[in-house]
Amino acid sequence: MPKLAPELYAALSTFAGHRRILVALDFDGTLSPLVDRPEDARPTPQAAQVFEELSQQYGVRTAVVSGRNLDSLTEVYPAPRPENLIGSHGAERRVPSVSSDSPEQPDLSASQRANLKELTAKLSEVAQRYEGVSLEYKPSATVLHVRQAPSIEVADAAIIEGQQALAHLDELRLMAGKSVLEASVHSGNKGQALQWLREVLDVDALLFIGDDVTDEDGFRILNREDLGIKVGEGPTLAAHRIETPEMLPELLEFLLSMRN
């Protein structure tokens, strides 16, 4: 397995020197390898174990910042899991230390509920027309999944038709990720969620690791004290990169050794 780049070891050492840090990880494609069926995803055992050990260190806070809704996230992440969970790209928050200001479910307006109902109906029509295409339902969004489509051509056609079917709707956030098209009536993103976590957890620096296009919102808000790491290929705003989720345990173990 490839080793971490020397410059990444150096960056992790510098980051670990901050008094209070937040280590925030995406789930799918980061803590868990990507799988065809979302319900089959699980964090790699070694990564989950070291992540838990990190959370027990003085001055270290941990969080999962995912596009999944919180119910889905807790179903695929066996306990023990981080107490700080962000779901639906920031629309759902489970942060016990600030629970009074941390709604688990987004409070949608009447127009948002109407938009969600309409976009779900439109995407349902698209999904029914393509083999291997399915929907995932979230409190403020509906997701078109095309990973199980029989070909790239079918997957791309379904995504394009989904985008076209929703083009007339206002106040809608469309996010195209790896084999998914997510249509959300919630305007938040992972960057806003990370900024919120930084403030409410009162940390000096944060580390964010993610693999997908939607994680770029998180990398975008990082400052010079922070650290962003992209998993896999593709353009990114992150300063560093690892090749696969299988390299995450080594990264976390090194960070843990710097905090012991």
Q: How confident is the model at residue 140 (pLDDT cuts 50, 70, 90)?
A: confident
Which region among 39-48, 101-110, 179-188 has the lowest average model confidence (pLDDT)? 101-110
Q: Which helix (H) or strand (E) holds 259?
A: helix 248-259
In angstroms, the CA 192 to CA 199 distance is 11
Residues forming beta bridges with residue 141, ordered by sequence position = 184
| DSSP assignments along 203-245, one per residue | -SEEEEEE-SGGGHHHHHT--TT-EEEEESSS--S-SEEESSG
171: left (phi over 0), alpha (psi -120 to 50) or beta: left
Identify the CA nearest to 25 among candidates 58, 48, 59.
48
**Residue 146 three-state SS:** coil
pLDDT computed for residue 110 by the predictor? 86
CA distance 169 to 142: 14
As a whole number of angstroms, the distance between CA 73 and CA 165 comes to 28
pLDDT, tens digit (0-9, with 9 covering 90-100), for 193-244: 999 999 999 999 999 999 999 999 999 999 999 999 999 999 999 999 999 9
Q: Which of 207, 241, 243, 209 has the alpha carbon at shortest distance from 227?
A: 207
Residue 64, class by beta-carbon neighbours within 10 Å (0-12 exposed, 13-18 middle, 19+ buried)?
Answer: buried
Whole-number Å distance between alpha carbons of 54 and 257? 9
Please tell me the distance from the alpha carbon of residue 112 to that of residue 138, in angstroms, as a whole number: 13
In this prediction, residue 99 has a pLDDT band, given cuts at 50, 70 and 90, of low
Q: What pLDDT, on a 0 to 100 scale, did the predictor assign at position 38?
A: 87
- Report the mean per-residue pLDDT for the chain: 92
Say if CB 128 and CB 116 are below 8 A apart.
Answer: no
The whole-number average pLDDT for the span 109-131 is 92
40-74 per-position pLDDT tens digit: 999 999 999 999 999 999 999 999 999 998 999 99
Helix, strand, or coil here: 184?
Answer: strand
146 within 8 A of 180, measured Cβ to Cβ: yes
Section 157-181 average pLDDT: 89
CB 83 within 8 A of CB 90: no
pLDDT of amino acid 104: 66
Tell me how far apart the terminal alpha carbons of the chain are, to the nearest angstrom.
Answer: 25
Q: Is the pLDDT of residue 103 over 70?
A: no
17 phi/psi in degrees, rounded to 5: -75, -10
According to the 3-state scheme, what is the secondary structure of 114-139? Answer: HHHHHHHHHHHHHHHCCCCCEEEECC
pLDDT of amino acid 188: 78
| Cis upstream peptide for 43 (omega within 30°) | no
pLDDT of residue 1: 57
What local confidence, expressed as pLDDT, does residue 106 receive?
A: 67
Residue 101 has pLDDT above 80, yes or no: no
Kindly give, in sequence order, each residue whose CB lies less than 8 Å from that of residue 9, ignoring residues fewer than 6 positions away. 254
pTM here?
A: 0.82
- pLDDT at residue 105, as a whole number: 65
